[in-house]
């Protein structure tokens, strides 16, 4: 089961952001301006590595 879509708390509200949804083993990412469009799906481990890199800058 997938969670609700959510935006970053750092989103400026200008519409130029992505939204995330998660399940027990994966994450989905979509363009917040095109909610009916496609979503990218990543295994949980890949997303954890990506987010760690983002936090490091």
The pLDDT of residue 52 is 93
Q: What's residue 26's pLDDT? A: 95
For position 12, what pLDDT does the model report? 73
Helix (H, G, I), strand (E, B) or coil at 52: helix
In the prediction, which pLDDT does 33 show? 87
CA distance 34 to 48: 24
The two beta strands, 6-7 and 26-31, are unpaired
Global pTM value:
0.74
Distance (Å, whole) CA 5 – CA 43: 17
Which portions of the chain are predicted below pLDDT 70? 13, 15
Stretch (H or E) spanning 46 = helix 44-56
CA triplet 57, 50, 17: central angle to 5 degrees?
75
């Amino acid at each position: 089961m997938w969670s609700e879509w959510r935006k970053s708390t750092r989103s400026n509200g200008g519409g130029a952001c992505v939204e995330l949804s998660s399940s027990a083993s994966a994450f989905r990412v979509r363009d917040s301006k095109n909610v009916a469009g496609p979503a990218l799906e990543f295994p949980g481990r890949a997303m954890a590595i990506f987010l760690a890199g983002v936090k490091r800058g």
